[in-house]
A and B are shown apart, each in its own frame.
Chain A
Amino acid sequence: MSLFNSYKIIYLSFLVCLVAAIFPLPIMFNAFRPDWMLLVLSYWVMALPHRVNIGHAFILGLLLDLLLGSILGMHGLLFSLLAYFTSINFQRFRNFTLVQTTLLLGVFIFLAKLGLYWIASSMQEITLHRPYFWSIFTSMIIWPWFFLFMRFIRVRYKVS
């Protein structure tokens, strides 16, 4: 498939995940919201590292910062670091089984959340709520299905 069409699918998936990341939910379920942006980014960086790179991760992080109203560059920094680690190891991660990638994603999201908390706490006065880390588990539950679905999309629309 042509380059334009590949990017069309990729950007559409980014847009859908951005909307999912800020979709209004009741306060109770808000903490369980999976980290859609991290999932979609790590999928595309793993699958097509020559198409989706650190620059994309940075721009998406900035967009998320603006959408969430957090300090500018917080998510940008974390996402580009994550994309960097994934893109230098993508050969290895591709050979992992689904269970292994799920665990890996769990570690990534945990580190990202820790990093976000660290940056935010060094910049402003904040309070940590206990449910903050629960979204790691929902993300890990979502990830296998998300992975299979994205692979289906990729093969179906021949994104390369």
Chain B
Amino acid sequence: MIACCVGLLIADNKYNLFSPARVYLNSIVAPIQYIADAPQKLFGSFSENIMTRQALVERNQQLEKDNLHLKADRLLLGQLQSENKQLRELLNSEKKFKYKRMITEVMSLRSDPFTHQLLIDKGALNGVYLGQPVINEQGVVGQVSQVGSTTSRVVLIVDATHGIPVRVQRNDVIAIVHGSGAWDQLKVPFVQSNADIKEGDLLVTSGLGGRFPAGYPVAKISRFEYQEGELYATVTATPVADLDRSRYLLLLWNDDPLADADLTLDSPELFDVPVQ
């Protein structure tokens, strides 16, 4: 029995033998997860039902206001988008901004004591795939690490095994953000001591890994410290998304990962005839 267990451990971890079978195995245990999630859902719908008329009216007004603001922003966005497209056409570089996306609900948060994961209620039947980016309205949350037929697991950006390529929004300095294992902290390793990064800088996805689409906010730099004689600066950041407090997330379909990566090697200088 022990040999069997050790065999399983090694097979699962080192050789990933079970990754195809995991879909089915996860589907087997999905009913138990739905049972565990049911009371919370029930309670949620119950509390929605007993909301007073006054509260509903207020909420509706608030949402109407928000909607108006967002629509107004969107008008501008449409214009900016077409302008951006024209400019990109002038530069001969393609960049797509349209992604298919899907709203998903968080079923449970961090059940395994060592990793930062959450369980969502969409799976292979909805087209979820391994490594799919997951965001919420504030920024990047993580990526799909295991898929079941109706549920999937998302590994969060703060998990110690997670890394994500980013760039600083202010000046396009690129870096990599690693999880630290704590809920509200990220590490930015291998930053040169003279790099132009300040506290409060916003880090957005660079799209260089091909997994996350470019441009989504990830974290804010919280500390930049350099000690004399050290090779690299110690940089820490805090995630912009409330990882432990969001109930609804968005799954993104990043169809053509390399199209939106900033690999525009054919820069306009190549086409320009050098002026003598």
Identify the A interface with B (CB < 8 A): 15, 18-19, 22-24, 27, 30-31, 54-55, 58, 62-63, 66-74, 76-77, 80-81, 116-117, 119-120, 123-129, 132
Contact = CB atoms under 8 A, between A and B. Distances in A.
10 contacts: A22-B108, A22-B111, A27-B110, A67-B111, A69-B115, A71-B9, A117-B114, A124-B161, A125-B161, A129-B181
Contact of B160 (A15, A31, A72, A126): A126
Nearest to B27: A66
B9 A24 contact: no
Contacts of A129: 113, 181
B18 interface: yes
Which 7 A-B pairs give the minimum distances between C-beta atoms?
A: A127-B181, A73-B8, A77-B5, A72-B12, A126-B114, A24-B108, A68-B112
Name the prevailing secondary structure of the A interface residues: helix
Contacts of A30: 110
Contact of B32 (A67, A80, A120, A124): A67
A123 to B, nearest CB: 5
B5 A80 contact: yes
B6 A22 contact: no
A66 B115 contact: no
B199 interface: no
Interface in B24-54: 25-26, 28-29, 32-33, 35-37, 39-40
A117 B112 CA distance: 11
Given A72-B8, A73-B5, 12 more contacts: A15-B32, A19-B36, A24-B107, A55-B1, A58-B1, A66-B25, A68-B111, A69-B153, A127-B114, A127-B160, A127-B180, A128-B114
A125 B25 CA distance: 24
A13 to B, nearest CB: 14
B33 A22 contact: yes
B206 interface: no
Contacts of B36: 19, 22-24
B115 A70 contact: yes
Nearest to B154: A69
Contacts of A81: 2
Nearest to B18: A72
B182 interface: yes
Contacts of B114: 70, 116-117, 120, 124, 126-128
B161 A73 contact: no
Contacts of B267: none
A27 B109 contact: yes
Considering residues B25, B114, B146, which has the most beta carbons from chain A within 10 angstroms of its beta carbon?
B114
